[in-house]
Amino acid sequence: MTSASFRIGITPDVLMSNGQPIFGSEAFRLLEHPGIEWEYMPASDQITPELALRYDAICAMTTRVTPQGLPQDHYRLKLIARFGVGYDSIDVPTCTRSSILLTIAPDGVRRPVATSALTFVLMLAQKVWLKDKLTRTGRWAEKSDHIGTGLTGRVLGSLGAGNIGAEMFRLARPLDMKFMVHDPYADPGQMRELNVELVDIDTLFSTADFLTVHCPLNQQTHGLVNARLLGLMKPTAYLINTARGPIVDEKALLEVLVKRRIAGAGLDVFEVEPTPADNPLLALDNVIVTPHGICFTDECMQGLARSAFTAAVDLAQGRSPSFAVNAVAGSHLR
């Protein structure tokens, strides 16, 4: 590398166990520009001053940014481009204070996560996890004891109608379900176009047959799905969370599942990740779980890489990257 090169660091958590990147090699073609160099960064659970002084841009999967990790105000680092849309692990004020732009990748996750939510809907409706177990253990005679839920006319609800929630409703149109959402920031025109009814949060929880969580984790949504709201759900209803674990009170969810106050749940996320092997949710027969990776497909990973790498190249070439969370930080980067 030369001192004049634009340095991009890629967090090593994008590497699979075989040492290959989860998004393949094709995406690296986006970084093939004169004056741009990239490398995998040293393993670290957070961005440190040493890393911030080494790179102009960091493309990060799970690496955190904390005030303690970046205590100074000025670094070489100008951009953190997330391979994803959630940024609850990134202290945005710290980035802004240090003139570090934060970008996310909504185009990379819109379809894959919406598809993942519908995968949970279909698996729960058909009780696939139970029928799989019956088949593997030779208990075919018990299949009539596990009748599923038909989707025609059922209510598909969403807590959140943003990028992913709206896409889920688009994909679900052929299922002939009724659509319902609670989101104080939803675009009424878009909801009308998608034939989605905007309702208050109590109506959503008391009416939905399949209730999906598609809101960001922040101070307002932490613990939002609590014992009171879960208590409003029908005993035949299912809760699906592909957003962030702490949005749902896990203890309250466990109680309603154990007592069969709701029919079941599909969980890709947990309050603590990785969730402990002795988490009682994992022992329940009315829960499907995945390791915060149900959306991990070639389509998803390639989309995330394209978005993050494009943001870095745009900045290197004097353009304003798309999907900036703290656009104010970018106003003094040129």
pLDDT digit string (tens) for 149-200? 999 999 999 999 999 999 999 999 999 999 999 999 999 999 999 999 999 9
Residue 79 pLDDT greater than 80, yes or no: yes
Q: What is the pLDDT of residues 100-139, one digit of tens each?
A: 999 999 999 999 999 999 999 999 999 999 999 999 999 9
312-332 exposure pattern, b = at least 16 Cβ within 10 A, e = fewer: bbbbbeeeebebbbbeebbee
Residue 208 pLDDT greater than 90, yes or no: yes
Residue-averaged pLDDT of the chain: 95
Q: What is the pLDDT of residues 7-65, one digit of tens each?
A: 999 999 999 999 999 999 999 999 999 999 999 999 999 999 999 999 999 999 999 99
- Every domain of the chain with CATH number 3.40.50.720 lies at 6-107+297-330, 110-289
Active site residues: 244, 273, 292
CATH of domain 6-107+297-330: 3.40.50.720
Stretch 278-291: mean pLDDT: 97
Pairing state between β 210-213 and 238-241? parallel
Question: Are the beta carbons of 304 and 62 closer than 8 angstroms?
Answer: no
- CATH architecture group of domain 110-289: 3-Layer(aba) Sandwich (3.40)
Question: Are the beta carbons of 80 and 56 closer than 8 angstroms?
Answer: no
pLDDT of residue 119: 98
Tokens of 290: 């995945």
CA 202 to chain centroid:
24
Give CA–CA dist 14/12, Å, rounded.
Answer: 5
pLDDT of residue 334: 39
Give CA–CA dist 90/102, Å, rounded.
Answer: 9
